[in-house]
């Protein structure tokens, strides 16, 4: 029986390992989802667009967290799988008869296909993780990004080539278009509809990611991360778990890649570069490695950073002048420098990331008045 | 034949640049067990110092280069003291990402200085070349090769003969025992970063000769990553040999790939270092000369 004053007294395994195992969590999730549903009706379209992109990056960040945070396999190649998903979707869902290949299929086909193609690529890359460790694996996955860039540059019928690009997949789900305004009589713009679609996908991806993490697979991942030889001794099949980690994370990356271009329907192949991979790594490190909510927080933080600094410098011009050293640096340079500095500061002072900050905040109030 | 000779010379010239950046990577790795992704940033910082000193301040090029090396060593030292000292003992991956953050910051500052145009570095030989038995040999490649050989030999002598070199080797082998023997490991860290900065500056000068420095120059240093993987992360000799392999392969592929394997696309030579890296790692997962880590439970 449940005691209201003892929310963490669990009387069954199911209750303990449940997704939302305390009343506070349940309430929190309801509140957050309600706020997220209301945002497009109160905020301007450009902010809604930024949040929509942030949700898509959060899906990719969840995937990266599964392979790097939970399974401990450093992957700097996430941008490659992201791009692979984007181009698969563009080929399957794009307008036929243009300069580039397109088949004009529905989202029901191109979205899973994007995930599956990226997952297959992840599966092909996973033997490297079995053979290599640590920094060697990181640099090999970095090489994957460069190979991918070369591939995207050269495969002009698919990607259009550098500097030219190609149109993305048309976002129609079972015939219903997401880029055109209108929804059952409510006057929603395309951006708002896209935002709601991305919110739904993010919730699904988060549940999926969290379920992977709290299942036996997730426990095997953590064993591989912490002491892989000991894990092998107790019967965790390392090759299989690493392959599974890469496959699942690449699936998420492929889905996210396909979804990002629902809002801006034009893909340029040089976007999937080292900088994008580093951005994903920054999202999970700043958000919190090995946590799903951390991936979401990190993605929201990093994606809104550029807009945030813009608002900050226009809202507080004195601060803007100070940051740009009196106009010596452009605002984009300041954003990039801030991004680099934030990575360094978070890793030095709060290695558990934004999720760690949340934990400190929550534990302070949980243990009040014994917060010391 | 002349084409082959020309490609070999160009390849060795490129290899010199890679060797300098790679040796810097390896020196830091040997002391701190961290791959410092800040080397590209230090390289362009060094190149910018030379651009500033040689073209704006008006110093002679031969004076600007050592001065820039000293200044970049100072920058490396500053980076190490402020961002890496607090991270001693933290997981290696985290420190590597910190160096990535530092690299981002350094490159932004350099980009602001360099601007949108190609900035000449003030070298006295430019793109001069001469004909050697029918093949065109560029002076800058010969200069790169001789200077790099001298620097690498100097480093070997330093590590083998001097007390500081001995201290660094001891710290690289086993930090605790070195501490017990009186080696100041903190000083070893500082010296490693200073040396890596100076080497990166010299590499930046080489990249800038003949053309100039612009906002894309830093990508050359990224190709030193396959070099250190091929050679082995903790072997300086391996870094040099890896640089020669990667430089030659890149040059030969660039020269012959269009005729022999056109389906691989244009500029395949830019990704050939990574292909070589993957091939060698399949056979030797710790690189050609890297020491295999004994994994224990």
Show residues of chain B in contact with A135, CB under 8 Å. 35, 92-93, 96, 233
DSSP 8-state assignment for residue B57 = I
Give the gap in angstroms from C-alpha A322 to the nearest C-alpha of chain B.
15
B277–A140: do the CB atoms touch at under 8 Å?
Answer: yes
Average pLDDT over residues A188-215: 91
**Contact with chain A for residue B87, Cβ under 8 A:** yes
A227–B96: do the CB atoms touch at under 8 Å?
Answer: no
Give the gap in angstroms from C-alpha A54 to the nearest C-alpha of chain B.
21
Show residues of chain B in contact with A348, CB under 8 Å. 83, 86-87, 98
Containing A267, the helix (H) or strand (E) segment is strand A266-267
B237-247 CB burial, b ≥16 within 10 A, e <16: ebbbbbbbbbb
Q: Cα-atom radius of gyration of chain A, to the nearest Å?
A: 21
A347–B285: do the CB atoms touch at under 8 Å?
Answer: no
Show residues of chain B in contact with A347, CB under 8 Å. 87, 90, 94, 97-98, 101
The predicted structure's pLDDT at residue A1: 67
Identity of the highest mean pLDDT range in A6-15, A249-258, B87-96, B276-285: A249-258
For testing the chain B interface, which of A70, A143, A149 should be mutated: the one with the most B CBs within 10 Å? Answer: A143
CA distance linking residue A277 with residue A279, whole number of Å:
5
For testing the chain B interface, which of A324, A344, A345 should be mutated: the one with the most B CBs within 10 Å? Answer: A344
Average pLDDT over residues B1-24: 89
Show residues of chain B in contact with A333, CB under 8 Å. 108, 111-112
B104–A340: do the CB atoms touch at under 8 Å?
Answer: yes
**ipTM for the predicted complex:** 0.86
Residues 6+ apart with CB under 8 A from A8: A21, A22
Quickly state the pLDDT bin for B41 (edges 50, 70, 90): very high
**Contact with chain B for residue A312, Cβ under 8 A:** no
Asked whether residue B153 carries a pLDDT value surpassing 90, the answer given is yes
DSSP 8-state assignment for residue A215 = S
- Closest Cα in chain A to B84: A348
Six token digits for residue A202:
């993010």
A341–B105: do the CB atoms touch at under 8 Å?
Answer: yes
Average pLDDT over residues A201-214: 95
DSSP 8-state assignment for residue A12 = S
Quickly state the pLDDT bin for B92 (edges 50, 70, 90): confident
Burial class (CB in 10 A: 0-12, 13-18, 19+), A263: buried
Closest CB to A333 among B97, B112, B274: B112
Residue with tokens 């390992």: A17
Query: Which parts of A132-237 fold into alpha helices (H)?
Result: 134-154, 156-159, 190-213, 216-226, 228-233
**Contact with chain B for residue A348, Cβ under 8 A:** yes
Mean pLDDT of chain B: 88
Quickly state the pLDDT bin for A163 (edges 50, 70, 90): confident
Quickly state the pLDDT bin for B85 (edges 50, 70, 90): confident
B101–A344: do the CB atoms touch at under 8 Å?
Answer: yes
**Contact with chain A for residue B260, Cβ under 8 A:** no
Show residues of chain B in contact with A328, CB under 8 Å. 112
What interhelical angle do B2-32 and B236-260 show, nearest 10?
140
Could you read off the pLDDT of B154-167 as tens digits, one per residue?
999 999 999 999 99
Residues 6+ apart with CB under 8 A from B245: B230, B276
DSSP 8-state assignment for residue B87 = G
- The pTM of this model reads 0.90
Asked whether residue A326 carries a pLDDT value surpassing 70, the answer given is no
Asked whether residue A124 carries a pLDDT value surpassing 90, the answer given is yes
**Contact with chain A for residue B271, Cβ under 8 A:** yes
């Amino acid at each position: 029986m449940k005691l209201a004053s003892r929310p963490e007294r669990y009387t069954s395994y199911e209750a303990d390992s449940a997704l939302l195992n305390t009343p506070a969590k349940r309430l929190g999730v309801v509140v957050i989802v309600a706020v997220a549903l209301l945002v497009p009706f109160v905020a301007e379209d450009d902010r809604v667009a930024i949040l929509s992109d942030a949700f898509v990056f959060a899906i990719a960040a969840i995937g990266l967290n599964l392979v790097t945070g939970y399974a401990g396999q450093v992957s700097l190649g996430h941008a490659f799988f992201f791009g692979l998903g984007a181009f698969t979707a563009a080929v399957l869902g794009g307008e036929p008869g243009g300069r580039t290949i397109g088949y004009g299929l529905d989202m029901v086909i191109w979205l899973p296909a994007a995930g599956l193609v990226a997952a297959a690529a992840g599966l092909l890359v996973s033997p490297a993780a079995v053979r290599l460790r640590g920094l060697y694996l990181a640099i090999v996955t970095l090489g994957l990004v460069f190979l991918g860039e070369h591939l995207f540059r050269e495969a002009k019928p698919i990607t259009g080539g550098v500097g030219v690009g190609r149109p993305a997949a048309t976002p129609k789900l079972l015939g219903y278009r997401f880029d055109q305004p209108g929804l059952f009589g409510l006057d929603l713009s395309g951006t708002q509809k896209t935002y709601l679609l991305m919110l739904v996908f993010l919730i699904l991806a988060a549940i999926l990611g969290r379920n992977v993490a709290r299942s036996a697979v997730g426990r095997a991942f953590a064993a591989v991360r912490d002491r892989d030889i000991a894990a092998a001794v107790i019967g965790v099949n390392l090759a299989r778990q690493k392959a599974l980690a890469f496959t699942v994370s690449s699936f998420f990356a492929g889905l996210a890649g396909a979804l990002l271009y629902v809002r801006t329907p034009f893909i340029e192949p040089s976007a999937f570069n080292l900088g994008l991979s580093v951005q994903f790594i920054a999202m999970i490190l700043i958000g919190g490695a090995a946590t799903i909510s951390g991936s979401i927080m990190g993605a929201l933080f990093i994606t809104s950073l550029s807009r945030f600094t813009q608002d900050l410098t226009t809202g507080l011009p004195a601060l803007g002048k100070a940051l740009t050293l009196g106009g010596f640096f452009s605002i984009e340079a300041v954003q990039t420098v801030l991004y680099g500095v934030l990575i360094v500061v978070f890793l030095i002072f709060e290695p558990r990331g934004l999720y760690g900050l949340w934990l400190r905040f929550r534990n302070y109030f949980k243990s009040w008045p014994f917060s010391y | 034949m002349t084409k082959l000779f020309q490609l070999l010379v160009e390849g060795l010239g490129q290899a010199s640049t890679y060797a300098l950046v790679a040796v810097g990577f390896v020196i830091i790795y040997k002391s701190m067990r961290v791959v410092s992704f800040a080397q590209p940033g230090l390289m362009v910082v060094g190149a910018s110092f030379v651009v500033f000193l040689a073209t704006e301040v008006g110093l002679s090029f031969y004076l600007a280069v050592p001065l820039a090396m000293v200044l970049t060593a100072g920058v490396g030292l500053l980076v190490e003291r402020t961002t890496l000292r607090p991270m001693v003992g933290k997981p290696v991956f985290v420190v590597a990402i910190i160096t990535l953050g530092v690299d981002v910051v350094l490159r932004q500052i350099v980009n602001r200085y360099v601007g949108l145009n190609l900035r000449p570095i003030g070298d006295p030989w430019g793109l001069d070349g001469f004909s050697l038995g029918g093949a065109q040999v560029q002076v800058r490649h010969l200069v790169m090769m001789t200077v790099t050989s001298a620097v690498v030999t100097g480093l070997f002598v330093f590590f083998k003969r001097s007390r500081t070199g001995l201290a660094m080797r001891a710290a690289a082998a086993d930090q605790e025992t070195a501490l017990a023997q009186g080696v100041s490991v903190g000083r070893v860290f500082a010296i490693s970063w200073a040396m890596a900065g100076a080497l990166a500056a010299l590499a930046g000068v080489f990249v800038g000769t003949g053309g100039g420095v612009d906002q894309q120059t830093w990508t050359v240093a990224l190709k030193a990553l396959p070099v250190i993987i091929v050679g082995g992360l903790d072997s300086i000799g391996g870094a040099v040999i890896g640089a020669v392999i990667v430089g030659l392969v890149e040059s030969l592929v660039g020269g012959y790939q269009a005729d022999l394997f056109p389906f691989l696309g244009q500029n395949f030579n830019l990704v050939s270092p990574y292909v070589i890296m993957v091939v060698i790692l399949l056979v030797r997962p710790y690189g050609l000369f890297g020491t295999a880590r004994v994994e224990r439970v």
